[in-house]
Amino acid sequence: MSTTEFRNYIDGSFVDAAATFDSIDPSTGAPWAKMPAASVADVDRAVEAAHHALRSGPWASMTASARGKLLVKLGDLVVANADRLAELETRDTGKIIRETRAQIAYVGDYYRYYGGLADKHEGSFVPIDKADMEVTIRPEPIGVVAALVPWNSQLFLSAVKLGPALAAGCTVVLKASEDGPAPLLAFAELVHEAGFPAGTVNILTGFGHDCGHRLTSHPLVARVAFTGGPATARRIVVNTAENLAYTTLELGGKSPVVVFSDADLDSAANAVVAGIFAATGQSCVAGSRLLIERSVKDEFLDRLKRKAESIRIGDPQDPATEMGPLATSRQRERIERIVAESLTAGGRLITGGARPKEKTDGFYFAPTIIEASDQSLVCVREELFGPVLSALAFDTEAQALSLANDTEFGLASGVFTTNLARAHRMARGIRAGVVWINTYRAVSPLVPFGGYGQSGLGREGGLDAIRDYTRSKSVWIRTSDEPIPDPFVMR
């Protein structure tokens, strides 16, 4: 069987790397494609191309309106090519095809949104306290942006970085994860087709110890936008000591979903299942901690058990499949270890906890629910990034809020209740960047997204995102025709 080969996109051209590596199909565990492993020299070339495009050439002189039109065109191309991109993402990451198709089609809206905002991010006039001066504030592009995204939801996570960065006039070097980079390397073809000038957007993949380290510490990089895990983020922060790049970090979480006894339990159960088992639990906002009011705990867990056991696990390319494999074998091995430790420490297995017997190939793991007696279990404390739900009971609203906040993370959360006053109290009290009330996993380009604590720094999405890719320049104009007085003559 022939192997598909991908190339990096640097300075407007598709180029080979000196080395390649195999990309694994998670549904079979077998190699299916050759990926380019970008070297330090490749990174240098990409950053230098981005720097040149920022300082001279067509992109540097392009109006904001023209930049916006290119972004809108890119959004249209993403939608037109959503099926192909989705098939590649499913093949390379194991995410089911019906989810990748829907998500990638929506990604087009992010590029259109920021395309529309490109010429609406205005400067300001300052009513300065000096009669012979006028002062204006000009927002200017911050510089070359290093954007690093993980394999999961990579088209979406790229859009929330590329969209505002390009709208602001920056240039970008985008690093795709070495785990499943195919859709982003193919997305480069759409960037090229849209007509972005050479060097404006560069897309490559490689490994962290050389490609990632060089990119985030490069002296010409002015901003780093990263989505991934806390351990990698700490290394990036150390790297940016070399270039003092402005940094935003979105680092996942251990998101609580709080279900009160007065909630619509059918609706809540559907949301909990979607929140933890969609994308095989490999989502930064996965609702992996269920907090359920004790009076309805047994009934609710029984509903979840039935729903989890009815999930159709299979080939991610099959539209009928409801849950696919994990993306990597090492991720499955980590989950197996944490589940075993949690059960040994006193967790009660409701369902799952093992590889599906009927799936002997690929990196599959069954939908799993563990009832925990307290928050000390490792499955409750750590982000597993897989289809594992930890359930804890509470008795009072105050206890529910305390449990929800008893985590080092703070990215997302959900609350299910028909009590409007309680909903407002919980929304005010939960320490997380996103609080969903009677829903879960809803996103929009209009709404900022980001976390508290170990879930990261900064926000992506919404109107303000463009500002994070600019820096202000103060322009002072003296309006008096009188000569400037001699500073050494006393009056």
Which of 479, 454, 486 is closest to 249 using CA atoms?
A: 454
Task: State the DSSP code for 446.
Answer: T
Nearest-CA neighbor of 169 among 477, 454, 470, 481?
470
Distance CA 432, CA 453 (A): 9
- Which residue among 250, 293, 371, 383 is the active-site one? 250
CA 425-430-433 angle, 5° bins: 125
- Assess contact for 145 and 469: CB atoms under 8 A: yes
| Integer CA distances (angstroms), 109 to 76, 160, 292, 478, in order | 9, 11, 36, 44
Paired sense of beta strands 256-259 and 414-416, if any? parallel
In the prediction, which pLDDT does 252 show? 87
Distance CA 45, CA 106 (A): 32
pLDDT digits (tens, 9 = 90+) for 403-453: 999 999 999 999 999 999 999 999 999 999 999 999 999 999 999 999 999
Q: Is 320 exposed, middle or buried (CB count within 10 Å of its CB: 0-12, 13-18, 19+)? A: exposed
Q: Please state, in angstroms and rounded to a whole number, the distance separating the CA atoms of residues 485 and 467.
A: 38
- Per-residue pLDDT tens over the stretch 185-226: 999 999 999 999 999 999 999 999 999 999 999 999 999 999
Terminal Cα-to-Cα distance of the chain (whole angstroms): 89
User: In terms of residues, how long is the chain?
Assistant: 491
Where along the chain do its domains lie?
4-250+461-475, 256-437
For residue 37, what are its two tokens?
């492993």
CATH classification number, 256-437, choose in 3.40.190.10, 3.40.309.10, 1.10.4030.10, 3.30.470.20: 3.40.309.10
Phi and psi, residue 247, nearest 5°: -130, 135
pLDDT for res 132: 94
Q: How far is CA 355 from CA 66, 105, 386, in A?
A: 52, 32, 12
Question: ∠186-236-177 over CA atoms, to 5°?
Answer: 20
- Non-local CB neighbours of 165 within 8 Å, separated by 6+ positions: 145, 147, 172, 223, 225, 469
299 is catalytic: no
Residues 56 and 389 sit within 8 Å (Cβ to Cβ): no
pLDDT in tens, the chain (491 residues): 356 999 999 999 999 999 999 999 999 999 999 999 999 999 999 999 999 999 998 999 999 999 999 999 999 999 999 999 999 999 999 999 999 999 999 999 999 999 999 999 999 999 999 999 999 999 999 999 999 999 999 999 999 999 999 999 999 999 999 999 999 999 999 999 999 999 999 999 999 999 999 999 999 999 999 999 999 999 999 999 999 999 999 998 999 999 999 999 999 999 999 999 999 999 999 999 999 999 999 999 999 999 999 999 999 999 999 999 999 999 999 999 999 999 999 999 999 999 999 898 999 999 999 999 889 999 999 999 999 999 999 999 999 999 999 999 999 999 999 999 999 999 999 999 999 999 999 999 999 999 999 999 999 999 989 999 999 999 999 999 999 989 898 76
Predicted TM-score (pTM) of the model is 0.96
Token representation of residue 15: 């180029």
Q: Scanning the structure block, which residue is given the tokens 């089911």?
A: 96
| Angstrom distance (rounded) from CA 440 to CA 92 | 26
| Cβ atoms of residues 292 and 301 within 8 Å | yes
Q: If DSSP codes are grouped into helix, strand and coil, which group holds residue 35?
A: strand
- Listed in sequence order, the residues at least 6 apart from 490 whose beta carbon sits closer than 8 Å to its beta carbon are none
Buried b (16+ CB within 10 A) or exposed e, 346-375: ebeebbbbebbeebeebbbbbbbbbbbeee
Alpha-carbon distance of 195 to 65, in angstroms, equals 15
Q: How many angstroms separate the CA atoms of 173 and 200, rounded?
A: 8
pLDDT attached to residue 57: 87
Torsion angles phi and psi, residue 124, rounded to 5: -150, 160
The pLDDT of residue 373:
87
| pLDDT reported for residue 1 | 39
Query: Cβ contacts of residue 180 below 8 Å, gap of 6+?
Result: 23, 89, 92, 93, 151, 154, 327
How far lies 263's CA from each of 266, 293, 349, 418, 425, in Å? 9, 10, 25, 5, 16
CATH of 4-250+461-475, one of 3.40.50.2300, 3.30.470.20, 3.40.605.10, 1.10.510.10: 3.40.605.10
